């Protein structure tokens, strides 16, 4: 059954509401532009049609989707690796800093101890010369 192009029932059956809205908005916008230019042209209808891409293009769609999924998977793996390794590296760095601080304190305490012993020894030798 063929219906008249202006029939609302035909438009509802053959196009989605979104496509119809696009057509109506396009007519209004295009007519305004032409009126602003003073072109003297009246737009009566815009019709969106479905198109079928060539078979070569259709064949490429799954490959494109696969490549896109592969990229996304690689990105997710890299992010997972980063989320694993960065906190570990920060923890390791913090551990090394704490070890270095403990070593510094140990060496400092040893040096202070030796300095005090040396100072006492010097004081004894001054008090009791041999």
**What tens digit of pLDDT does each residue of 19-63 get?**
899 999 999 999 999 999 999 999 999 998 888 888 888 888 888
Q: What is the structure's pLDDT at 9?
A: 46
**Where do the H-state alpha helices sit in 15-54?**
17-37
Residue with tokens 């479905």: 50
* pLDDT confidence of residue 86: 95
Whole-angstrom CA distances from 11 to 19, 43, 88 are 10, 18, 62
Instruction: Read off the pTM.
Output: 0.40
- For the four alpha carbons of 116, 119, 125 and 127, in that order, the dihedral sign comes to negative
State the Cα–Cα distance between residues 73 and 69, nearest whole angstrom. Answer: 6
Query: In this model, does residue 8 exceed pLDDT 80?
Result: no
Burial class (CB in 10 A: 0-12, 13-18, 19+), 11: middle
C-beta separation of 1 from 13 below 8 A: no
């Amino acid at each position: 059954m063929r219906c008249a192009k202006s029939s609302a029932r035909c438009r509802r059956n053959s196009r989605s509401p979104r496509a119809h809205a696009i057509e109506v908005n396009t007519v209004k916008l295009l007519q305004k532009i032409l009126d602003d230019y003073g072109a003297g042209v009246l737009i009566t209808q815009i019709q969106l049609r479905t198109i079928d891409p060539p078979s070569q293009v259709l064949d490429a769609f799954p490959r494109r989707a696969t490549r896109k999924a592969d990229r996304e998977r690689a990105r997710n793996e890299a992010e997972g690796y980063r989320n694993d390794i960065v906190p570990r590296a920060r923890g390791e760095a913090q551990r090394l800093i704490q070890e270095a601080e403990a070593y510094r304190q140990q060496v400092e305490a040893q040096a202070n101890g030796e300095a005090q012993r040396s100072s006492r020894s010097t004081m004894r030798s001054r008090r009791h010369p041999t």
